[in-house]
Amino acid sequence: MNQLKDETSPYLLQHADNPVDWHPWGDEAFRLAREQDKPVLLSIGYSACHWCHVMAHESFEDEATAEMMNALFVNVKVDREERPDVDDIYMGAVQAIAGQGGWPMTVFLLPDGRPFYGGTYYPKERRMGMPSFTQLMNAVHEAYRSQRANLEKQADNLHQSLKRDVLAIGREDDSGLTGDMLDEAARSLLASIDRENGGFGAQPKFPNPISLEFLLRHHARTGDEEALNLATFNLRQMANGGIYDQIGGGFARYSVDAHWLVPHFEKMLYDNAQLSRLYLHAWQITGDGCFKSIAEDIYDYILREMTAPAGGFYSATDADSEGEEGKFFVWTIEEAAEALAPISAEQPRALEIAIETYGLTPQGNFEGSNILHLPRPLDETAIDLGMSLDELSAALAVIKRRMYAVREERVPPSLDDKILTSWNGLMLGSLAEAARVLKRDDYLAAARRAGEFLLDQMLSDGGRLYRTHKDGRSKLNAYLEDYANLIDALLELYQSTFETSWFAAARQLADTALMRFRSDDGGFYDTSDDHESLIVRPRNLQDNVTPSGNAMMAKQLLRLAAYTGEARYDAAAREVLRKLSDAMRQYPQAFAESLNAADMLVGGIAEVAVIGVRQDQTTREVLDELQQPFRPNLVTAYSRHDVARHDSIPLLSARIMIDGATTVYVCRNFVCKMPATTAAQTRSLLAEL
């Protein structure tokens, strides 16, 4: 075994038996590079990455290739999910060199860590205009020996470009944070939607939940029906496609085609966390039970398959099983017939219904098998089958249970069972919100367990977060996104339980982030001030597959300002957003989470304090009014008793029940309307804000 044998990352452990002498990222590898005067070959990927597996099988498991790698380089393997800082820095370099990036990422570094060349996947043999991996290594080795001065110059130029500060381009005031800016960004997003298939752009198709969430917010703020219609059209198209697991719930990473049919079959926690919340919000706005059903299917999938015994959420499942991509998920008609035969007495038309509903054909739509999808709406399928929609739905429930049970007997894709604070925060935030919106006690119980796990296992005695946990070990300094996403989750847990401990933990983490991550010129770095020294201190302001840490932190600080009235939270959030106001207008897809935060500023946050007996009918009606509709810019605090002073949540201070009745205080910037005592009055006061 190589130097990865003691790591906890499933991705790194996949490579622990390679003949390549892999080292984890760290001082030891760079010390060896300096002593041996060798370049560093940095390979970055993640466990569910299909092409990472391909390159591993072709090259890293090959004895001759490994011998060459060991002779010419010091080889370092990085899990991008554990080390987003390293990934972000060197992805920037690869994009500058090659014009595009991706994984696996292959970067060549000088012994001091500066990159001088890089790309993504390289085949074992030369093909399609790409050099073979061995050709590339020979060329790099020769350049390192004979053209060192040129490489030093190239590395220095790349290093300087990586140090450019995006925040230097922004405004110094709030003049760009306007409704007009939000409207223009929405128009730009709407113009880029594929109105035939849904999604943004052509292919491959990614769900892009952050942009769709902004369109739902835009509709809530302006009443723009086109924004709502196109956002929900996108959601229906995705849910009908093969990117959605029609049998087990949950979405794959992306579709390789324009129609959402053929995915890379890996499922990521972060996608399903964001999409579950998006479908939940779509149901709140439209009342369409389809959206509620998809959201619940995702939550049920996560709790059934992706939840650790202690309560945290696993990271991902692979695309491949038994060495074949998608084998676990696809069906032939013969396989479906065999699976459904045992329920023929209960549902004699089961196979016919499955074929018509999920578009099964003898030739298949994926390498001779069928990716299940909905080629037409269920109401049309019901008509063709001579059934009512309710009858079809009942039959499909039986069919899905049976096909799921049979599928569970197959060899499953591998599970990446590390627990990441950031992704867990996204999932916990969604689940905690769903618990109160859907009134699901099982979701609330799971959310509590996840919250308890994260605060118990991912928080040090000194109040600092860890990034990753596996096999009882928590390690690595957490990043800005870890703090921001967990703060969001804890605030959602507070609003679902009204237990002050969750709020207090969120506020403590925010104060730590302000102390450790904030920059002198506004905004936040991705790494803390006591993080290990890298060639640059990363500060990524654009969204990626997950929201930007800066944008998510801005949202949470605005919510904390609404709860506490503390200007320092509001000021820190504004520092981020005003610097990005022009970028949000011009590149809305890249800054969609910043737009969501800016929507909170422009639209204003409703601050609501409820004093009353939780079991009282009026109190329940008031809380339903606050929690059931889609109100993205509202924070709620609750107390059973009159409050003279509340040290943790000042919004509750000086709030009392009037004449012993449930009393609601609706405020903005701590300026309150006359108290309400009914749900109808509360609704009217919110409409006036």
Distance from C-alpha of 249 to C-alpha of 293, rounded to nearest angstrom: 10
Locate the domains of the chain by residue range: 10-164, 329-409, 606-688
Q: Which two tokens stand for residue 96?
A: 């500058």
Block residue for tokens 């198209």: 237
How many angstroms separate the most distant Cα atoms in the chain?
87
Distance from C-alpha of 56 to C-alpha of 376, rounded to nearest angstrom: 40
Asked if the domains at 10-164 and 606-688 fall in one CATH topology, the answer is yes
Distance from C-alpha of 278 to C-alpha of 292, rounded to nearest angstrom: 10
Which pLDDT belongs to residue 510? 98
Q: Which two tokens stand for residue 292?
A: 């509620």
Q: Is 676 helix (H, G, I), strand (E, B) or coil?
A: strand
Which pLDDT belongs to residue 442? 98
Q: Which two tokens stand for residue 453?
A: 């796990």
Distance from C-alpha of 200 to C-alpha of 182, rounded to nearest angstrom: 18
First CA to last CA across the chain, in angstroms? Answer: 64
Distance from C-alpha of 526 to C-alpha of 542, rounded to nearest angstrom: 12
* CATH hierarchy code of domain 606-688: 3.40.30
Which pLDDT belongs to residue 1? 79
Burial class (CB in 10 A: 0-12, 13-18, 19+), 652: buried
Q: Which two tokens stand for residue 372?
A: 């299940």
For the chain of 689 residues, list the mean pLDDT of each consecutive stretch of 10: 93 97 97 97 94 94 97 98 96 92 96 96 88 95 96 94 70 92 98 96 93 98 98 98 98 96 96 98 97 98 98 96 93 97 93 98 96 96 96 96 97 96 98 98 98 97 95 96 98 98 98 96 92 93 95 98 97 94 94 98 97 96 98 98 95 96 96 96 96
Which pLDDT belongs to residue 168? 53
Is residue 679 left, alpha or beta, with left meaning phi > 0 and alpha meaning psi from -120 to 50?
Answer: alpha
Which pLDDT belongs to residue 166? 56
Which pLDDT belongs to residue 581? 92
Is CATH 3.40.30.10 what the domain over 10-164 is classified as, yes or no?
Answer: yes
Q: Residue type at 219?
A: H
- Residues in CB range of 311: below 8 A, 6 or more apart: 446, 449, 450, 452, 453
Alpha carbon distances (Å) from 600 to 275, 604, 665: 21, 5, 20
